[in-house]
Amino acid sequence: MPAGKAGAAVNHPHPLQVSIAGLPPEGIDVTVEATSRDLDLPETERTAFPHPFRFRLHVSRVGADILARGVGCSMLRCECDRCLGEYEEALEVADMCHLFESVDEDAIDLTERVREDILLVLPQRLLCSEQCLGLCPSCGQNLNTGACECRDETDADSPWRALDGLGHDANNEG
């Protein structure tokens, strides 16, 4: 690779690199945007970040250290675990607080720390709503949009069919 191109890539500041040169005693308020690519966030077939993250930060000195506090937000596009429908969910990283100890550079890079904050707030279960009815296990009909024809039919080939004849009655003691 030519030296000029490599130098240009290295000199490009990262969106979450905050200059602290000449930081006033009261600190500074910074608003920055970063894409999922900037933050190296995983996008899958089931989740994506269609919009950049927007961060509002207050950066100040605490002795020789730098304190960065703030919030971040974006939208997460998801595929529901139950019905496989697509929906968007707001993601908020509240109360970010990062201390950079004994900083002697002219800038701090929040990228890795903010990335970890975002990964911690990602939902473990992707549900379009708590009341989502999901898909019919037999025909695949989305039960949120309407009932299916096969729900009340008895499936003669079902492996659970053999249990129907056991005569177990929940009210019967014994």
Which string of DSSP letters, residue by residue, matches 31-83? EEEE-TTTTT----SSEE--S-EEEEEEEEEETTEEEEEEEEEEEEEEE-TTT
**Structural domain spans, the chain:** 3-131, 133-174
Is the pLDDT at 151 greater than 70, yes or no?
A: no
Residues 30-42 have a mean pLDDT of: 90
Least confident window among 10-14, 15-19, 132-136: 10-14
- The whole-angstrom separation of Cα 50 and Cα 40 is 14
Each residue of 59-76: pLDDT tens digit? 999 888 999 999 999 999
CB 126 within 8 A of CB 134: no
- The pLDDT mean for the chain works out to 82
CB 61 within 8 A of CB 27: yes
Hey, CA dihedral for 34, 37, 38, 39, is it positive or negative?
A: positive
Q: How far, in Å, are 55, 66, 89, 127, 171 from residue 72 at the CA level? A: 4, 19, 14, 22, 54
Is the pLDDT at 116 greater than 90, yes or no?
A: yes
Is the pLDDT at 80 greater than 50, yes or no?
A: yes
pLDDT value at residue 170:
55
- The whole-angstrom separation of Cα 112 and Cα 100 is 12
Residues 1-7 have a mean pLDDT of: 37
pLDDT value at residue 9:
36
Residues 154-158 have a mean pLDDT of: 59
CB 49 within 8 A of CB 65: no
Is the pLDDT at 155 greater than 90, yes or no?
A: no
Please name the residue that has the structure tokens 């025909």.
139
